[in-house]
């Protein structure tokens, strides 16, 4: 684990191996440890992998108020500037996928391949804004424990809670140990989420879209929309997985990721 200062906050991150670079952005309410199986897989495949905790999460500085997606994206760019990484494959899950889309809006020239997992591209709805702000209020009032217990059967396909007890435990711990202050700030920021459909239509690099077949937060239709928007994008529906197919069906997810990385290499995306 390492830390560095980025845009006025301390960012905890892992930077493993060398070579062409894959950057992974975690979802809410998690931290960079959710990507451990993919980090190990990509490093073994010869890639340098950078995974960081977003501000407000994990070992990064906890911030209050409201953290919008453009702030998260600038932090991603700032960290990679610090690490001397000009171009990279960029992947994210859920909120992390929306950070990726914001990065595509801000600095598409730096991104050589895209992974968008269990995420959604349209702007937040009026109801969604209301619910996110209400949840932020609740987390500040009650903490993370009750929320974590409620959403675990949605984060993982319910049958996987008993079938994969160690994964369920890991996911529960990540949620329970997340700062409610940081999580609330991100929720308020995502309540203002813009529409990324137009941004996706301009993507010109290899793109992989992944979704769990049983994802209740971002159903298959959300993934299909992204796939329709990005020219040449590949959609992989992971059978028997919920919102975290990278953990619930690690082998299937990693195989799809490996094909994306091979595609990026084949088109010379990081010359």
What would the pLDDT profile of 173-187 be if each residue is shown by its tens digit? 999 999 999 999 999
* Cα gap 3→5, rounded to integer Å: 7
pLDDT recorded at residue 268: 79
pLDDT recorded at residue 1: 74
Instruction: Please say if the pLDDT value at position 269 is more than 60.
Output: no
Report which of 271, 268, 263, 213 is spatially closest to residue 238, judged by C-alpha positions: 213
* Cα gap 113→134, rounded to integer Å: 35
CA 6 to chain centre: 19
Q: Is the dihedral of CA 220, 208, 210, 175 positive or negative?
A: negative
Q: In 3-state terms, the chain is what percent helix, strand and coil (to 5)?
A: 50, 15, 30
Instruction: Please say if the pLDDT value at position 220 is more than 80.
Output: yes
- For residue 114, count other CB atoms closer than 10 A to its CB: 27
Report which of 246, 263, 242, 254 is spatially closest to residue 114, judged by C-alpha positions: 263
Bridge-based pairing of strands 9-16 and 88-93 is unpaired
pLDDT recorded at residue 271: 40
CA 228 to chain centre: 20
* Cα gap 141→187, rounded to integer Å: 14
Peptide bond into 50 cis (omega under 30): no
Beta bridge partners of 117: 93, 210
Stretch 86-105: mean pLDDT: 98
Output the average pLDDT for the chain. 97
The pTM (predicted TM-score) of the whole model is 0.97
Stretch 158-167: mean pLDDT: 98
């Amino acid at each position: 684990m390492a830390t560095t200062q980025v845009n006025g906050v301390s960012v905890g991150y892992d930077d493993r191996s060398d070579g062409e670079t894959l950057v992974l952005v975690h979802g809410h309410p998690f931290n960079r440890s959710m990507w451990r199986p993919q980090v190990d897989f990509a490093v073994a495949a010869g890639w340098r992998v950078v995974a960081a905790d977003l501000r407000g999460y994990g070992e990064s500085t906890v911030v209050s108020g409201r953290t919008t997606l453009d702030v998260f994206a600038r932090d991603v760019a700032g960290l990679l500037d610090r690490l001397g990484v000009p171009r990279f494959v960029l992947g994210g899950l859920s909120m992390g996928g929306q950070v990726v889309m914001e990065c595509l809006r801000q600095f598409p020239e730096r991104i050589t391949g895209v992974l968008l997992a269990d995420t959604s591209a349209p702007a937040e709805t009026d109801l969604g804004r209301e619910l996110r702000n209400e949840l932020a209020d609740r987390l500040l009032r009650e903490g993370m424990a009750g929320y974590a217990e409620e959403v675990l059967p949605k984060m993982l396909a319910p049958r996987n809670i008993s079938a994969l007890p160690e994964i369920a435990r890991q996911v529960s711990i990540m949620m329970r140990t997340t700062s409610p202050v940081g999580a609330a700030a991100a929720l308020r920021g995502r309540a203002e989420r813009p529409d990324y459909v137009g941004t996706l239509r301009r993507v010109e690099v290899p793109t992989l879209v992944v979704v769990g077949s049983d994802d209740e937060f971002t159903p298959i239709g959300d993934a299909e929309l992204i796939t329709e928007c990005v020219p040449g994008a590949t959609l992989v529906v992971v059978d028997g997985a919920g919102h975290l197919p990278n953990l619930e069906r690690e082998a299937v997810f990693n195989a799809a990721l490996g094909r994306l990385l091979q595609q990026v290499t084949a088109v010379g995306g990081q010359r």
